[in-house]
Amino acid sequence: MHISAKDLAALIPTDFTLGVATAAFQIEGALTEDGRGPAGWDMFSAKDGAIVENHSPAVACDHYHRMPDDVALMKQLGVDSYRFSLSWSRIQPNGSGPVNPAGLAFYDRLLDELLANGISPMLTLYHWDTPLALDDAGGWMNRDTAYRLAEFAAIAAAAYGDRVARWCTINEPATVTTNGYTLGLHSPGEALMLNALPTVHHQLLGHGLAMQALRAAGVPGEVGMTNVYSPMVPNSINPLDKISAGLMDLAQNRLYADPVLTGKYPDLIRAAKFFGSFDHPDEDMDIISQPLDFYGLNYYMPTKVAVGPGEGAVPASMAEAMGSDLSAAGNGATPFHVKPWPEADITSYGWPVKPEYMRVALKEMAERYPNLPPVIITEGGASFEDIIVRDKSTNTTFIPDERRLKYLSDHIQSALQATAPGGEAEAIELRGYYVWSLMDNFEWSAGYNQPFGLLHVNRETLERTPKASYFWFQELIEERNLAAAAGAAVAQAASGEPDDVAVPSAAEVPDDGVTTSGASA
Ligand code: BGC
């Protein structure tokens, strides 16, 4: 069982955002419309075998044409904030140079629609869909891409700066490097192994330069970036497993978090010879480690690590779900490997469901980075195959996704408890949780086979159907609003204000703004 929505709501502090997240390439479709230029992902996913069952992103969720309806579903859900990303090549078809007015206009409409519905926008500049022209010039192997991202940030700041409450420069550079350049599972499909290291530095530099551009434009919104974090757990007490987990932690977590939060790459990485392959000016580190208004953390699962190449870098079932047997790269080539977690509940991706490790993640972050800015969980969620139940008598559809609902409830609870006074990560000021994802979408190399949505999307009709998890999240937000209104009434009474000053109930929250405790921006 999971905690009741009411009891969970009681744990939510004031100024905590409850939101939902998506990314442009995963939902928009309309890849050739209104002057959008191609992205590297367009080409990658057109390659035979690159995506599970050769699913195509051409239509995705057709959000480009259904945006107002999707915003209406968010309004009905009651979220404080929506995290979305820009399609870079929709706005700047070649990744540099002229801007496409029709592309800019789409996000103008989206922002206006969100604000008209009282939903605070969180905008991610870069969520993996690099313009093809830049990929052709080397993508993130090329230092110039970082400067192009800064140019793009300046365009976005000028166009949207007045309306965006939170900016996220880049999303999960670790996944781009690992899946895109190390193992070749994602666009641009390079399997460069250790030679992929320059893509780490160039993405982080891109983040820093984009931040400078946003600050120079004077955007009033908060600015931060998002890293994924997975606690690395040794498979056994074998010291070599422990060392392996430590190396994996360096390669997947600290390689990306240390530079941003401390201005230094981890010592071991700096000492390693291969690091010489991307010598960089010292000033880069100042740019990368500029103060952030918030640190975005995506948490999905812990990772169990064992020494040796195993049967491949990741378990066969996980690789298969991602559309690869990893025979091109990773198999036998890595000094350690990821183990399945046999005793754990697993998602349909094969990811272990371990909400207690959300607490570990936050504790490790708090211990490692004493100057951590406020943290927002910018993504969390689970893919499970959904069962669609139809009631013929009323012609209604119901999707009882109890496992997703429980995943979300347990993880939000863990995050809140760990960061509450007395919790193991109490030093962290936790500002919000965004559910991945608003709707089932194009899950990169897994195509449409890994549904993460609160909304089911019918692949033939594209009709959206709220799942049980949607209704649960709606209830959680309502309970949170009621608790906040009650808290405000108590505070008012205690301050000796006259009794007749009305405190709006959740039901009376005006349409033009989010006035609950969750609206931080
Ligand atoms: C990414 C999303 C992705 C999700 C589930 C995150 O790594 O930011 O784009 O869909 O995980 O795999």
What CA–CA distance (Å, rounded) separates 440 from 442? 7
As a whole-number percent, the residues of the chain with pLDDT over 90 amount to 84
Q: How far is the CA of 443 from the centre of ligand 1 (A)?
A: 7
Active site residue 429: no
Cβ atoms of residues 449 and 350 within 8 Å? no
Tell me if 379 CB under 6 Å of ligand 1.
Answer: yes
- Please check the confidence at residue 465 and state whether its pLDDT lies above 50: yes
Kindly give the distance from the C-alpha atom of residue 452 to the centroid of ligand 1, in angstroms, as a whole number. 9
Give 401-433 pLDDT, tens digit per residue: 999 999 999 999 999 999 999 999 999 999 999
> From the CB of 443, is ligand 1 less than 6 Å away?
yes
| Cβ-based neighbours of 477, under 8 Å, separated by 6 or more | 18, 77, 78, 79, 80, 516, 518
141 lines ligand 1 (CB under 6 A): no
pLDDT at 514 over 80: no
| Distance separating alpha carbons of residues 170 and 132, to the nearest angstrom | 18
Q: How far is the CA of 226 from the centre of ligand 1 (A)?
A: 12
Contact between residue 186 and residue 322 where contact means Cβ atoms under 8 Å apart: no
**Gap from CA of 493 to ligand 1 centroid (Å):** 45
Q: Which of 172, 190, 222, 443 is catalytic?
A: 172
pLDDT value for 275: 60
Measured CA to CA, the distance from residue 224 to residue 164 in angstroms comes to 13
Residue with tokens 């496409």: 100
Residue 468 has pLDDT above 80, yes or no: yes
Cα separation, 326 vs 336, whole angstroms: 15
Residue nearest to atom 9 of ligand 1 (CA): 23
HSE-up (13 A, CA, CB side) for residue 483: 20
Closest C-alpha residue for ligand 1 atom 1? 172
How much is the average pLDDT of 394-404?
Answer: 95
pLDDT tens for each residue of 239-297: 999 999 999 999 999 999 999 999 999 988 877 766 666 678 999 999 999 999 999 99
CA distance 179 to 186: 5
Question: Has residue 499 got a pLDDT over 90?
Answer: no
Ligand 1 pocket member 172 (CB < 6 A): yes
The CA distance from 384 to 107, in Å, is 30
Q: What is the mean pLDDT of the chain?
A: 93
What is this structure's pTM?
0.94
Q: Give the residue carrying structure tokens 């990929």.
A: 135
285 Cβ inside 6 Å of ligand 1: no
Please tell me if the CB atom of residue 298 comes closer than 6 angstroms to any atom of ligand 1: yes
The confidence score (pLDDT) of residue 398 equals 95
Higher pLDDT, 70 or 518: 70
Active site residue 424: no
Å from CA of 298 to ligand 1 middle: 9
Output the CA 148–ligand 1 centroid distance in Å: 23
Check if 436 has its Cβ closer than 6 Å to any atom of ligand 1.
yes
pLDDT for 506 equals 39
230 lines ligand 1 (CB under 6 A): no
- From the alpha carbon of 349, which atom of ligand 1 is closest? 12
Give the percent of the chain with pLDDT over 70.
92
Write down the catalytic residue from 113, 190, 222, 379: 379
- DSSP code of residue 484: H
Q: Write the pLDDT tens digit of every residue in 325-344.
A: 665 445 567 789 999 998 88
CA angle at 246 for the pair 244 and 247, rounded to the nearest 5°: 65
* Mutation pick for ligand 1 pocket among 172, 230, 439 (CB with most ligand atoms within 8 Å): 172
User: Are the C-beta atoms of residues 430 and 37 closer than 8 Å to each other?
Assistant: no
Q: How large is the C-alpha radius of gyration of the chain?
A: 22
Q: Which of 363, 402, 246, 228 is nearest to 300 (CA)?
A: 228
Domain 5-518: assigned CATH number: 3.20.20.80
| 132-156 confidence digits (pLDDT tens) | 999 999 999 999 999 999 999 999 9
User: What value does the mean pLDDT take over residues 307-315?
Assistant: 85
In the structure encoding, which two tokens stand for residue 351, read together?
């990811």
pLDDT number for residue 508:
41
